[in-house]
Amino acid sequence: MARYYPVHPVNPQARSLGQVAAQLRDGGLIAYPTDSGFALGTLFGNKAGIERIRRIRQLDERHHLSVVVSEFAHLGRYVDMDNREFRAIKACTPGPYTFILRATREVPRGMQHPSKKTVGVRVPKHTTALALLHTLGEPIVSSTLTLPGDEEPMNDGWQIKEALDNDIDAVLDSGDAGLLPTTVIDLTGDEPKIVRQGGGSVELFS
């Protein structure tokens, strides 16, 4: 049964954040709020957690998962960026974007696209998500919490607990998750490719 942690949207309680971070360190899978709806998240490198995300969302290994970090400066550890990509991503972060880029050696193969060796990266603009990342001190592997058959991400924490009570370990809920999924932009080609139009403007990439 999933633990439910309601927190304040402006000043999320440190005790609850610490308990959720502990669950992640122990190998848990959580649902947490972002500026683009709720996301499923597990500790970076947690192979079993990644498999659980794929099973819940019915995703195959070709679907990009995202490395979620608290600051733009952390991205260079996980993806390669040239000057053009660096400037474009910096202009849009934090925000409702997922960028697909070439993965570095820091990213386990199980997280990478099997043939392209790419991975998604994201810096959310959301108080609770960032507070959790700061408390954890490590990145989270994530996927937008859109259940099979749904078109939009889930954004009600208690409904998530009821729907996934036996599939996840915790729900962190500050009552202010966004309504639209991230805009997904593939930057691995000669020109940016808009994979999904979501909450982020594509003006810089069109």
- pLDDT tens profile 71-117: 999 999 999 999 999 999 999 999 999 999 999 999 998 899 999 99
Closest CA to 142 of 67, 35, 52: 67
Residue with tokens 């998500």: 129
Average pLDDT over residues 140-147: 95
pLDDT band of 152, cuts 50, 70, 90: confident
pLDDT tens sequence across 25-72: 999 999 999 999 999 999 999 999 999 999 999 999 889 999 999 999
Inter-axis angle of helices 127-136 and 14-25, nearest 10: 60
Q: 147-163 burial, b for 16+ CB within 10 Å, e for fewer?
A: eeeeeebbbebeebbeb
What pLDDT, on a 0 to 100 scale, did the predictor assign at position 104?
Answer: 97
Give me the residue spans of the domains in the chain: 3-205
Q: CA 160 from chain center: how many Å? A: 16
What pLDDT, on a 0 to 100 scale, did the predictor assign at position 205?
Answer: 85
Query: Domain spanning 3-205: which CATH class is it, in words?
Result: alpha beta
- With a pLDDT cut of 70, the percent of the chain lying above it is 100
